[in-house]
A and B are shown apart, each in its own frame.
Chain A
Amino acid sequence: MSLRAQLETVLGGRISTPFTDLDKRVRETVSTGITAFDAKTGGLPRGAITEIFGLPSTGKTSMLLSILAAATAREEVCALVDSGDAFSPESGDAAGIDLQRLLWVRCHNLDHTLKAADLLLQGGGFGVVALDVTDVPAEKLQSVPLATWFRFQRSIEKTPTILTIISQEAVAKTCTALAVKMADCEFRIAERKTHALPSHSVLLTGAAATGTVIRSRQPIESQYVRFHLYSSFSRPGARS
């Protein structure tokens, strides 16, 4: 009997998979708040990095807000490190985020963003730490050493924290447990004086977003996910 088999026999019952790499273990997953996405991908893995990237107006921020809303609905405390100070609290509230459970860090450069994210991950205890680097130029993002993302991954791998990164291009690459590329968002816009409501009350009525799972460390049902977005930007207090 090999040494490995002997050890497994001795440890059997106490440690189920003593020689299995952490990455190969079955991770707990949580809902993104988007049923279609959860059904096809199994949700977001805890203790890992999830990356959502795509061009402007592809629905990546919508997906992030949905993730934060689902986490705060589970009464978890979340953090959003906002590199471009682009988060709209009104939009977040409309998405269903409990804003009192959301720590919002407004950064104005990439160095501050990475430092703040590092401190939050080291501090621990957050359900979701969202890192929004959408507005950072691609060349600056690509100059971030891969070691930084590995450090982030190591910080959370034995914790229930989910690090979600949104950007225009993939940045964390091999460090991610789930990478989704957003593309081809189809918008529905109310034409003037054709909507049942007053023409000005609803301008953008909805959209259909499509995501492609580029990388996943867990089995997925389908690589392509399509989900709908509706608009809650119905403007109050009309001025005629």
Chain B
Amino acid sequence: MFASIFIPHFHVQALVRNEPELLEKAVAVVDGTPPILKVFGVNDAAVRAGVELGMPRLKVEHFFAVVVRQRSAAQETSAHAALLDCANAFSPRVEDTAPDTVVIDLEGLERLFGSYHQIAAQIYDQTILVGLQPHVAVASNPDAAIHAARGFEGILVVPRGMERERFAELPLSVLSSNSDFLETLHRWGIRTFGTFAKLPRTKVAERLGQEGAHLHKLSRGELSRPLNPYKESLRFEETMELDHAIVLLEPLTFVLSRLLDQICRRLRVRNRSTHEIRVTLDLDERGATAHERVLRLPLPICDPRLLVKLLMLDLESHPPKAGVVRARVEAIPTRPRTVQNGLFVPLAPEAEKLELTLARIAHVVGQENVGYPVLLDTNRPDAFRVERFTSAAPLLKQEGWREAPGWSLKRNRPRLTTPAAPLAQRPLLSQEGTSSNIAFRQFRPALEATVQLRAGAPSWIAFRGLFGAITTVSGPWNSSGDWWREDRWDREEWDIGIESRTNSLAMYRIYRDCASNRWFVDGVYD
């Protein structure tokens, strides 16, 4: 058995899908080369209002309450992709028959989805979910399924052998779009499948040739052909063309929200999430290149609200330079994230929530100022880079983690910096308590200082409004490196103590830059 999904008024539905407020309105889609624009597609409400195919746009605009929209090839492509996604959610054997029609092979699906009626109902619901109003029909061969879907509204299951009886009242326009063929039959007084099927096969072949014989077989629902499955390519892309340019970000939020909503529905249908969103905004400015942004996510996400927030935070930081006339969003699919919850899982932020928090903070302080520090394998002072922060769960999946005995996961990371002094070298602990580590607070950039020397050691210092005699001094520590690079360093470090106004000792690390012979305060021990 085969199921067919047909989208009536496809050109209109492709547009209405991204503008749900038009769902109950009469809509006419026009196409052509301006200024000669003619009606290309209409919905039932527009037909009832009197709009006909081929009518000029100027004439249609006189109809009160008929919304006129320009045909959008990009939105039709998106709607067609969504239709294929629906079909692929049920079976891998899908025929891409036409932009508005697909056929699914239902062989063996009863065990998974139930009876043919139940399968058809589920296909119907799934298609509604991606924003399209379908006709769904199940029949014994692909062509019978297509005709049933095109001819009957809602859900229909045609039992095997009952095709001729059920199709008897269908108009011949469902069978073929060939106007010559239809006109010939019309002159003969044949207007339905039933009357055409009653004609003798040999006589039809004599008068109408091979094509007539083929259509005659189709009208009886007897022609059985193998399905022609299409090769699936997972591409989730949605486009919206705008009649008027959007200048402000707030209205753009609604556009992107609709596109992402559709994409997430399609992703869910295919049991996928996304880890990368690509946005292309065509600008209303001659010669301007499209504004492109790529949102890379550290974890698979399929929540449209979260994606919209992340995208808008990114666009607020990098706004388009002109009004937007076309928005295209593409999601790169990936497998959804699976999380093993447990009672004793250590405290960590919820991954999706953390991502939003990080984006908001990055919007305030800058992307480069948020992350976790990674020490570099060098002796250069204060050498680190800031990496993108993720919650603990994704970290476990990264390379470098291994499962240690006893169910604990530890990172197999070489220690790049000097480790804390071995216990034997640590000062003996008194009864007063365990020792901890002296922390160092870095001044970025280092503060330039005026230093006076006595017997080769610093004896007086002034920097940032502070000055005074150095009461304690230890050093020097000479270090240099990267002499072959422009940013080489060569310095002489000292640890010094200065008495503050409150007579407490403050310990600083200072250094002399040997190349410039200038003194700097590197930071304070605290």
Contact = CB atoms under 8 A, between A and B. Distances in A.
Interface in B424-447: 426-427, 429-430, 432-444
A76 B182 CA distance: 74
Interface string B505-526: 1110000000000000001111
A227 B436 contact: yes
B505 A185 contact: yes
Interface in A1-59: 33-37, 39, 55-59
Given A57-B525, A232-B418, A235-B479, A99 B374 contact: yes
What 3 A-B pairs are tightest by C-beta distance, nearest first?
A36-B433, A125-B349, A123-B357
B304 interface: no
Nearest to B391: A77
B373 interface: yes
Interface string A150-193: 00000000001100000000000000000000011101111110
Given A76-B346, A96-B437, A55 B504 contact: yes
Given A60-B526, A89-B374, A206-B435, 20 more contacts: A55-B506, A95-B436, A103-B371, A103-B389, A105-B370, A106-B386, A125-B349, A189-B473, A189-B495, A192-B475, A205-B427, A225-B433, A227-B433, A228-B433, A228-B434, A229-B438, A230-B426, A234-B421, A236-B418, A239-B480
Contacts, number: 273
Interface in A60-111: 60-66, 74-77, 84-96, 98-108
B437 A125 contact: no
B365 interface: yes
B505 A57 contact: yes
Question: What size tier do the contact residues of chain B reach?
Answer: 35 or more
Nearest to B415: A93
Of B346, B358, B382, B439, the most chain A CB neighbours within 10 A belong to: B439
Interface string B326-365: 0000000000000000000011111001101110110011
B289 interface: no
B453 interface: no
Contacts of B440: 61, 88, 90-91, 233
A218 to B, nearest CB: 19
7 contacts: A56-B500, A75-B392, A88-B523, A94-B420, A96-B420, A99-B375, A125-B391
A112 interface: yes
B474 A191 contact: yes
B502 interface: yes
Given A65-B437, A86-B444, A190-B474, A103 B417 contact: no
B365 A231 contact: no
A131 interface: no
A219 interface: no
A184 B503 CA distance: 10
Contacts of A127: 346-347
Nearest to A64: B439
